[in-house]
């Protein structure tokens, strides 16, 4: 169960980081 929760936590965190990096790139342009 803990392994599944960790996986879900990672999956939930990754998109936010990708969106953050994408916004940084857009702001740089």
Could you give the CA distance from residue 20 to residue 4 in angstroms, rounded to a whole number? 25
Give the up-direction half-sphere exposure of residue 7: CA atoms within 13 A in the CB hemisphere.
4
Residue of 3, 13, 10 whose CA lies nearest to 21: 13
Per-residue pLDDT, 29 = 76
Could you give the CA distance from residue 12 to residue 18 in angstroms, rounded to a whole number? 11
Domain count within the chain: 1
Per-residue pLDDT, 10 = 67
Per-residue pLDDT, 5 = 79
pLDDT in tens, 4-28: 776 677 667 777 888 888 888 889 8
pTM of the model: 0.39
* pLDDT range class, residue 1, cuts 50, 70, 90: low
Per-residue pLDDT, 19 = 82
- Domain of residue 14 covers 1-28
Could you give the CA distance from residue 27 to residue 10 in angstroms, rounded to a whole number? 26
Maximal CA-CA distance, the chain = 43
């Amino acid at each position: 169960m803990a392994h599944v929760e960790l996986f879900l936590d990672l999956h939930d965190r990754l998109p936010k980081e990708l969106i953050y990096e994408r916004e940084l790139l857009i702001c740089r342009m």
